[in-house]
Amino acid sequence: MNSGLIRGFRALNFSAQTGFSSGRMDGYGYLAVAINPDTQIKDSSETAFLSQAYNATSFRVYQNTIAQKILFEGKIATGVLVETAGLTYTLEATKEVIVAAGVTRSPQMLMVSGIGPQEILAQHNIPVIVNRPVGQNWQDHCAFEFQYKMNVGGNAALEGNKEYLYQATEDFLTTQTGPLTNWGGDILGFEKLPSPYREALNKSALAELAELPDDQPEIEWLIASHGPQMATSSYVTFTPAILAVTSKGTIGLTSANPADNPIIDPKTFSSPTEQALGIQIYKRLQEFVNATGLASGPELKVGPLNTDAEILEGIKQTGLPWYHGVASCPMGKESDPNAIVDTNGKVFGVSGVRVVDASVIPLIAPGHSMAPVYMVAEKLADAIKRGV
């Protein structure tokens, strides 16, 4: 499959990159993956950081426990009300409360504790400690999946072919080789929308895209050997993603109980610029699929789309969030009406509360979020150690 992808990228005049860690992202290349080279098992923040803290520090995990809210005396955080198996009790804070619940749950925890938009808190009878727009500037990339039968082998048949799955499992467990050592795709591509597709965008979309940095790609091309469940044949899934995010979503509350899921409205693919860009990306996709020579038949999820209206409706059906969400508690200056935390993650308007996760990243990066999140975590961990 990789040879077909390289053939396609070259035919579309993508430049070859040795990797995407240098700061330059235009072109195609092999992506870095968090897989242990000895075991071929995926590493994570838990295996790389948290598991080490278990043994090296006094870090303690309260299992099956949910934080109810941050407790305050005036505007000073004093601890956290928590619940374990029906028992409610308080964990007192000697220095500060660190919120690291992620891009959806961190804003929820702030809001149920009284930090958030006054109108949302009032709906749930939550006393307002700080009136700031928590959860109101969510950003995420939008992606679309298009699936084809593939004329070369791939991982998609693992579910539906028992013999193939058995052999792949045996290879992985005994020698750490075979298809289970690969998640299904190796090569990425990044680009700004090129001619002639760019000329088809309206003036408003072009003006909004012109506000982005010159070296920021607008499109990511991710291609993997994935297919429908229980597939017995090989499939390839082309997943272009819009990196030029111009829509903003929101996180709200269903109740004052943090056990209830928050209201998540990502507003993905809602802006006219994203929609105009998506239509042209679909047209670019047809050129790319043909250039790879990998597809052995028509697209299987939505079929052929011809008019712009058909394309827009079709890509809406295949659209999905890219799980790169940021900016629900964005970092900035206190004078910025959208900012929730300062450059050290400290929440404006109160003392003793800090947010340390992807929610504080104020602008979405034009790529994958793992490295930016780790970078922010390292920065804010250093701030915690230095007491600033």
Q: Which of 240, 264, 237 is nearest to 250 (CA)?
A: 264
Q: What are phi and psi of 19, to 5 degrees?
A: 170, 175
Side-chain-side CA neighbours of 374 within 13 Å: the count stands at: 11
DSSP per residue over 245-274, as a string?
----BEEE-S-S-TTSPPEEE--TT-SHHH
DSSP per residue over 286-352, as a string?
HHHHHHHT-B-S--SSS----SHHHHHHHHHHHEEE-S--B-SS-B--TTSTT--B-TTSBBTTSBS
Tell me which of 141, 226, 324, 368 is the catalytic residue. 324
Task: For helices 272-292 and 2-11, give the axis angle rounded to 10 degrees.
Answer: 120
Distance CA 93, CA 197 (A): 56
What amino acid is encoded at 310 in this protein?
E
Q: How many CB atoms lie within 10 A of CB 129?
A: 21
Distance CA 43, CA 52 (A): 13
Beta pairing partners, 144: 319
Side-chain-side CA neighbours of 158 within 13 Å: the count stands at: 18
Distance CA 8, CA 288 (A): 6
Q: Is 368 a catalytic residue?
A: no
Q: Give the helix/strand (H/E) hosting 85.
A: none
Using alpha carbons only, give the angle 60, 64, 65 rounded to the nearest 5 degrees.
70
Structure tokens at 136: 């109101």
Asked if residue 50 lies in contact with residue 104, where contact means CB atoms within 8 angstroms, the answer is no
| Residue 192 exposed, middle or buried by CB count within 10 Å (0-12, 13-18, 19+) | middle
Measuring CA to CA, how many Å separate 16 from each of 197, 220, 238, 261, 269? 22, 15, 19, 44, 29
Active site residues: 324
